[in-house]
Each structure stands twice: as structure tokens, then as C-alpha cells.
């Protein structure tokens, strides 16, 4: 059985664990560096990106996770997780940092603050429409040449990427874990299986 960690410092941990378990994956909560060992993949959940960054540092996970990403660990970041994986973050704090594992520039709260949260269908290449739950979602404003745009969404100002992939690293602006539709997680797991062959 595949082992997929869920970074369990803050955010939608339980929801991601639930999706992974429905998909017959052994989901393991990751709170300490030694819990990264032997994982086939990792999910970095939505939450509050500056809080997650702070807790990664205080837990001792910041550098071990950086090494795991450099070594090619399959990783899926949703909302704040996307921010943590990106190369550039706008509208963050002055001391905000990210891993730079996904060559995208994101804007925090790019679709509006909490009161502007919304749900809309998102057409995902290869799987069709899925519910997109956007809560203080980051907007992907630029993508590098090696980034594959898997889904876009038009919030009234043109199409913007909302689901992207660069090798083993995926990033998602919305919250697929907050719906009963598991197809986005399944895409990630399928790509992980390809990498393990």
C-alpha cells in the first residue's frame, strides 16, 4: 500500500487524510522530520501559509522537507500548500518564504478575502468538471516554461491557472479535499504511481 504523508502542522489535515483513505492509500500525519522517511508522496494542505511556514521552522521540518523536494518527493500543495511550493509570493509578509519547488508566481488572497470565498466548477484536463472551493485562494499569476497547466478558471478577468504540475510537484489554488469528488487527488496519485515505476 502506498504511503502518503499529510503535513499535519495546521490546516485541512483531516480532510486530506479522509480523501486519501477513501482512495485506499495509507495516509500518515507528518509533524516531525523522521516521519518523512519512506513516504511515497506528501500533501501540504490549505491553511494559513505564514503559520505553516513558521511551524515548519519550529518543528525542524523546514530543511528536511527542502531536501525531500530536491530529491524528487511527489508533493501536492493545495491553497496555502501551493503558496509554500511556489517560487514567488506577492502580498505576503516581508519575512515570507517558500520552497521554490514549483515555478509559479502566486498572489496571496488573489481571489479575495474570506468574505469573497466561492465555489464554482473547474474543468480539469483528463477528468472533467470538479467542484472548485476557493477560500482566500492564491491566484497563479505566472508559470514557468516547465509547468504544465492542468486546469484554469475565469473569475471574470480572464483564464488563470488553478491546477498545475511540474514533474512530481503539483499545486492547486482551490480545495479539492472539501468536496466528495476525489478526482484531483486521484490525478496526483496516478502521477505518483508513474514516478514509482
CB 86 within 8 A of CB 102: yes
80: helix, strand or coil: helix
Looking only at the bridges linking them, the beta strands covering 148-154 and 159-166 are: antiparallel
Give the cell for residue 137. 485562494
Positive or negative torsion for Cα 132, 178, 65, 38 = negative
131/128 Cα distance (integer angstroms)? 10
Strand-by-strand arrangement of the 86-90 sheet: 86-90, 102-107, 139-143
Closest by CA position to 110, among listed 127, 86, 89, 131: 89
64/57 Cα distance (integer angstroms)? 10
- Active-site residues, by number, are 79, 175, 177
Burial code (b: 16+ CB inside 10 Å, e: under 16) for 149-163 equals: bbbbbebeeeebbbb
Amino acid at each position: 500500500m502506498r504511503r502518503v504523508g499529510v503535513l499535519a502542522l495546521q490546516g485541512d489535515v483531516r480532510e486530506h487524510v479522509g480523501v486519501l483513505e477513501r482512495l485506499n492509500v495509507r495516509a500518515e500525519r507528518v509533524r516531525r522530520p523522521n516521519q518523512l522517511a519512506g513516504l511515497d508522496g506528501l500533501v501540504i494542505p490549505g491553511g494559513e501559509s505564514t503559520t505553516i511556514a513558521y511551524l515548519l521552522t519550529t518543528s525542524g521540518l523546514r530543511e528536511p522537507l527542502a531536501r525531500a523536494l530536491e530529491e524528487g518527493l511527489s508533493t501536492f500543495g493545495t491553497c496555502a500548500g501551493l503558496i509554500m511550493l511556489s517560487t514567488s509570493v506577492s502580498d505576503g509578509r516581508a519575512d515570507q518564504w517558500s520552497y521554490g519547488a514549483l515555478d509559479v508566481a502566486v498572489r496571496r488572497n488573489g481571489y479575495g478575502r474570506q468574505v469573497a470565498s466561492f465555489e464554482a466548477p473547474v474543468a480539469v484536463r483528463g477528468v472533467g468538471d470538479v467542484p472548485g472551493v476557493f477560500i482566500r485562494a492564491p491566484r497563479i499569476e505566472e508559470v514557468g516554461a516547465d509547468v504544465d497547466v492542468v486546469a484554469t478558471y475565469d473569475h471574470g478577468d480572464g483564464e488563470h491557472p488553478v491546477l498545475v504540475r511540474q514533474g512530481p510537484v503539483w499545486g492547486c489554488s482551490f480545495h479539492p479535499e472539501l468536496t466528495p469528488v476525489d478526482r484531483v487527488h486521484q490525478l496526483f496519485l496516478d502521477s505518483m504511481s508513474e514516478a514509482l515505476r
